[in-house]
Amino acid sequence: MKLDIVTPLGRIYEGEVKEVYFPGIEGEFGVLEGHAPLMTTLQPGIITIKKQDGTEEIIAINTGYVEVTPEHVNVLVDGAQPVSGEKAGDIAEAIEKAKQLLRDASESDALVASVEAKIESAARNL
Amino acid sequence: MATLKELKQKISSVKNTQKTTRAMKLVSTAKLKRAEEAIFRSREYAKKIDEVMHEISAKLASVKESIELRAFAKIDNIEKVDVIVITADKGLCGGFNIHTIKQTINLIEDLKKKKIKIRLKVIGKKAIEYFKFVGIEMYDEIVGLSSAPNYEKAAELIEKSYEDFVNNEIDNIIIIHNGYINKLTQQVHVKELLPITVDTSNSQEFLEIEPDNDYETILETLVKKYIEYSLYYALLDSLAAEHSARMQAMDAATNNAKEMVHQLTLEFNKARQEAVTRELIEIVTAIEAMKK
C-alpha cells in the first residue's frame, strides 16, 4: 500500500507501508491494504505508520483530509511534524515542535494532553 | 563623427548601465533560488489536492445521481465570468508581463464574441497600468500580492469569487498567469478553476464518507482549499517566473552593454588615432612649408 503525506510546505512522507493509523474526526482508525474507499477529515493528532520491515514512524498533524483507496492512501494536511531523529537531541526537538503544532491547532486541552502523552510514549520506543 | 569627449562620456554611461544590470541579475538569481524552492515545496501539495479533488468527485458522481454543489455542476449557459490576471509589480523582465497581458486580451475578445460578461480582477501593477492605459475596465485591482505571495490574502480574494459563484452571480473562474518551467522558459497558463469537470470514466461504485456520509460539507471545504491553493500556487509560480525572466533579461542587457562598450572603445581608439595623425600632418606640413 502506498502512502503519501503532503503539506503546503512540501512532502512529509512517501513510500510503501503495511499499516497506518489516523486520527479521524469520528475517532482513530487503521488502514490496511485493500481497504474500502473512504474519505474523511482528520483532527489534530498523530499518524502512526507501520512499515513493511516492522519499524514504526509517527507524525504529528493538525487538520486535514485523508483519501483511502484499496491501493493507496493520500493525506493532505495543513501542518505536520515527524517525530523522529538520529540523536536524542533531534528527537527532543521534534517532540517539542510536534507539541507546539498540536497546541496551535486545537483548543481542547484534553485532546492536546492525550496526544502529547501518545507522542511521549511513542518517542520512548524510538 | 562624435568627438572624443562625447565618446568618452558615452562609454562611461554604458559601463554604469552595465553595472546596474549586472547587479539586478545577481539579485534576481538569488531571489529566483528562493522562489524556486517555494514552488518545488508546494508543487506536491498542489498536485495532490488536484488529484484527490478529481478522484473524489468522480467517485461521488458515480455513487450519487448528482452532486448538489454548484462547483461540480455542468453550466451550459455561461453569462458572466471572473478572470483573475497575475502579473508582476515591477518591469525590466523582458516580455514576462506583456505575454500575460496579450493572452488576457485574446481571452477577453474571445469571451466578448460569445457575449459573455467579464469581471476582471487584476493582480500586479504592470497589468493594472496597462489596462488603465488602454481603457479596459477592471473590477478589482490588487497591488503588492504578486511580489510577496500571501496565503491569507489569496484566500480572501478567491473567497469573494467563490461566494459569487455559489450565488449564481458568475459562472466560471479563470486564472491567467505566466508560470515557471525552468530557468530559461516561462509559459502562460490559463486555468479554468470552477466548475470542476467530473470525469466518471474510470471510478469505483463505492465510497464511504465520514462523518456520516456528509459529503457536501467535506467536499465544500475541499473545494475551497483547492481553489485557494490553486491561486496561491499560481502566485508562487508567477513570482518564480518573474525572477527567471528578469534574470534572463538582465543577462542579455549586460551582454549587450558589454558589446556596446567594445564597439564604442574601438570607435574611440579610431578617433584618437585620427586626431594624432592629423596633428602630425599639421606639424610636418608646417615644417615643410618653412623649409621653402
Q: Which domain holds residue B13?
A: 4-20+250-291
CATH of the domain at B45: 3.40.1380.10
Residues B106 and B203 in one domain: yes
Q: Which domain holds residue A69?
A: 1-126
Q: Is residue B20 within 8 angstroms of chain A, CB to CB?
A: no
What does pLDDT average to over chain A? 84
The DSSP 8-state label assigned to residue A36 in this structure reads P
Contact criterion met (CB below 8 Å) for B69 and B216: yes
Residues B221 and B113 in one domain: yes
Residues of chain A contacting B225 with CB distance shorter than 8 Å: 76
Predicted local distance difference test score (pLDDT) of residue B95: 85
Residues B269 and B142 in one domain: no
B33 found inside a domain: no
Q: Is residue B76 within 8 angstroms of chain A, CB to CB?
A: no
For residue B69, the one-letter residue type is: L
Residues B204 and B267 in one domain: no
Q: Between B151-166 and B215-291, two packed helices, what is the crossing angle to 10 degrees?
A: 120
B103 found inside a domain: yes
**Rounded to whole angstroms, how far apart are CA atoms B172 and B189?**
16
CATH of the domain at A52: 2.60.15.10
B147 found inside a domain: yes
Q: Least CB-CB distance to A37: which of B51, B208, B215?
A: B208
Residues B78 and B100 in one domain: yes
Distances (CA, A) of A61 to A78, A111, B47, B98: 8, 13, 20, 43
Residues of chain A contacting B59 with CB distance shorter than 8 Å: 37
Contact criterion met (CB below 8 Å) for A37 and A22: no
Distances (CA, A) of A70 to A36, A37, A73, B60: 6, 6, 8, 16
- Per the structure, the count of domains in chain B is 2
B34 found inside a domain: no
**Rounded to whole angstroms, how far apart are CA atoms B186 and B144?**
21
User: Which tens digit of pLDDT belongs to each residue from A39-78?
Assistant: 888 888 889 999 888 888 888 888 888 988 888 899 999 8
Residues of chain B contacting A76 with CB distance shorter than 8 Å: 45, 48-49, 52, 225
* Cell numbers standing for residue A41: 477529515
In order along its 292 residues, chain B shows pLDDT tens digits of: 568 889 999 999 999 999 999 999 999 999 999 998 888 888 888 888 888 888 777 777 776 666 677 777 777 788 889 899 999 988 888 888 899 999 999 999 999 898 888 888 999 998 899 889 988 888 888 888 888 888 888 888 888 888 888 888 888 899 999 988 888 888 888 988 877 777 766 555 566 776 666 677 778 888 888 888 889 999 999 999 999 999 999 999 999 999 999 999 999 999 999 999 999 999 999 999 998 7
* Among chain B residues, CA nearest to A66: B52
> Are B45 and A41 within 8 A, CB to CB?
no
CATH of the domain at B264: 1.10.287.80
Residues B113 and B45 in one domain: yes
Residues B258 and B221 in one domain: no
**Rounded to whole angstroms, how far apart are CA atoms B228 and A8?**
11
Please state the pTM of the whole predicted model: 0.82
- Per the structure, the count of domains in chain A is 1
Residues B194 and B89 in one domain: yes
Contact criterion met (CB below 8 Å) for B70 and B195: yes
Predicted local distance difference test score (pLDDT) of residue B286: 94
Q: Which of B227, B246, B265 is the last residue of a domain?
A: B246
Residues B285 and B153 in one domain: no
Q: How many CA atoms lie within 13 A of B252 on its CB side?
A: 10
